[in-house]
Homo-oligomer: A and B are copies of this chain.
């Protein structure tokens, strides 16, 4: 196919998509809107812009002339928001340090990302001090001490964050540059190997911001993401740019309430004071809001919450809906900036009165965000039928996907094999293009040409009254490729045989809810299920033991 391209006037300006454009008009339409940090700080967007300029001058004064990595190690704060802008807007790369990793992993990411300067909350100074002897690129540390004196440390301290900003000019000329310049980087951890660095360009983040804004604004609910919303993130900023929402909030110039170190009391106090209308978090945090005794009388009925990071459990969705929360699931991952899908509820869906139907719609992995080309495919990259039953891997194209893993060429090729980013998640798709995640691809059981979700099987077996806990994995099988294997922990005092478990599954087979091939031939009983350090079922260990035995 041919296309036509035309010459440009010599003066015609090729407008690059840069993060500075997200900040540009934030202070114009509603100049009184505030950025709030706990009960300590509150300032306007005009002040945010000045502080971003001050930060840029501080970075320049440290000899950073662009193209270098500046890390932030902090709780969700106004400082972090300033870093979201000031670091990439000076051509540098923001590394958002995941301080929940092990100290060895944190060290690995700091060295691998080639951090030159680290802006850290004083709480993390002991950790950095401990790691310092092994730093390979770090030259200077900026400490946010929040009014406390900076503790003794052998690290090279450039200064205290507020003091450095106060001493710098609030004017900085942010030049235009190539929209393909890298703006951010951070690390994702799998069950094996070292953390892997993903990276996002200015263009990618701008397009992600526009598309996410559009997806959430287009829904006609009072508390959706419009320009009179109040935004309170409850996901760490280091977690995939807090899902990109701080950029959306800044583009809209809406009030932002940043909770700092997560403490239920402070968070609830901020909630009651500022009445946020939109937040996002993992299920556990929402559980705190609907389950915490102190939150019992808090009005949650003007609050929209987007749940990600883990599947939204039905029970939590129900509890939230009963409190009036407008709750929906979203889906994405570190490699994808992160947004890929959100559960969609149109005007008619919202009017549905049946609670279980509301839950069913809201916990779906959801419909693709605009400009996400999402497919569910079999092992030969053919689309599976959109029957909401046939499983396949989710593969995607979109303008905001990491183009590789930093300095990991083999893993990068693996990620992008066949021209699509492979999510490693297995899902079904319905006729309206909405997907439902079934499993991780490494855990799905491929038996006789069919895919069986290990998570579904665990859920079904778990409903047997004698079963306390269960893990299902696939084991190699000469004839069928793989066969499901179940490791079962019984409730104390229960006597259950493998045959009882199979009998418990038979009605599901009869009703067509699972295929007869999904019933495990092999069921073993154990005292405990092997778990990873973060408490997830350690399927790798289970498979390893089986292979050895």
Binding site for B on A (CB under 8 A): 1-15, 17, 21, 24-25, 28-31, 65-68, 90-91, 93, 175, 177-178, 180-182, 199, 207, 210-211, 213-214, 217-220, 226-228, 251-252, 344, 346-347, 367-368, 370-371, 373, 397-399, 401, 403-404, 406, 409, 412-413, 415-421, 432-433
Contact B210 A220 (CB under 8 A): no
Beta-carbon contact of A29 and B346 below 8 Å = yes
Chain B: which residue is nearest A408 at the CB level? B9
Chain B residues whose CB sits within 8 angstroms of the CB of A28 once the complex forms = 367-368, 432-433
Residues of B within 8 A of A67 (CB): 2-4
Partner of A1, one of B91, B412, B419: B91
**Among B24, B178, B227, B409, which residue has its beta carbon within 8 angstroms of that of A373?**
B24
Contact of A371 among B21, B29, B66, B433 (CB under 8 A): B21
Task: Tell me the complex Cα distance, A217–B348, Å.
Answer: 20
By the criterion CB–CB under 8 Å, are B404 and A12 in contact?
Answer: yes
A416 touching B218 by the CB < 8 A rule? no
Is there an interface contact between B91 and A7, defined as CB atoms closer than 8 Å?
Answer: no
Instruction: Name A9's contact: one of B24, B182, B227, B404 (CB within 8 Å).
Output: B404
Within 8 Å CB of A367, what residues of B?
Answer: 25, 28-29
Question: Using Cβ atoms and an 8 Å threshold, which residues of chain B touch A433?
Answer: 25, 28
B3 touches A177 (CB 8 A): yes
CB distance from A287 to the nearest CB of B (A): 29
> Which residues from B are CB-within-8-Å of A29?
344, 346, 367, 432
Contacting residues, chain B, for A406 (C-beta < 8 A):
6
A24 to B226 alpha-carbon distance, docked (Å) = 24
Summarize A's interface: helix, strand, loop or mixed: loop
User: How long is the Cα–Cα vector from A22 to B420 in the complex, in angstroms?
Assistant: 20
* Option from B251, B373, B418 in Cβ contact (under 8 Å) with A11: B418
Cα(A399)–Cα(B213), bound, Å: 18
Q: Quick check: A1 and B199 within 8 Å, CB to CB?
A: no
A236 to B92, CA, bound (A): 46
A368 touches B25 (CB 8 A): yes
Which 3 residue pairs spanning A and B have beta carbons closest together? A11-B416, A3-B181, A2-B67
Shortest C-beta distance, A375 to chain B (Å), equals: 12
CB pairs A–B below 8 angstroms (20 shown):
A1-B91, A2-B67, A2-B68, A2-B91, A3-B178, A5-B178, A5-B181, A9-B416, A11-B413, A11-B417, A15-B371, A15-B399, A25-B368, A28-B368, A214-B214, A214-B251, A218-B227, A219-B227, A220-B228, A251-B370
Question: Which of B2, B347, B403, B418 is A6 in contact with, Cβ under 8 Å?
Answer: B403
Minimal beta-carbon separation of A334 from chain B (angstroms): 16
B344–A7 touching, CB < 8 Å: no
Contacts of A399 in B (CB 8 A): 15, 17
With A346-B29, A404-B9: A15-B397 Cβ-Cβ less than 8 Å = yes
In the docked arrangement, what's the CA distance between A6 and B197, Å?
A: 12
Please name all residues of chain B whose beta carbon is closer than 8 Å to the beta carbon of A398 when the two chains form the complex: 15
CA distance A15 to B336 in the complex (A): 13
In the bound assembly, the distance between CA atoms of A418 and B25 in angstroms comes to 23
Q: Is the CB of B1 within 8 A of A177?
A: yes
- Inter-subunit contact B66/A10 (CB<8 Å): no
> Which residues on B sit within 8 Å (CB–CB) of A412?
9, 12
- Identify the interface centre among A6, A31, A210, A227: most chain B CB within 10 Å of its CB: A6
Q: In the complex, what's the smallest C-beta–C-beta distance from A339 to chain B, in angstroms?
A: 14
Give complex CA distance A393, B429 in Å: 53
Chain B residues near A413: list those with CB within 8 A: 9-11
- Taking a contact as CB atoms under 8 Å apart, the answer to whether B3 and A66 are in contact is yes
Q: Output the least CB separation between A378 and chain B (Å).
A: 18
Determine the distance from Cα of A367 to Cα of B24 in the docked complex, in whole angstroms.
12
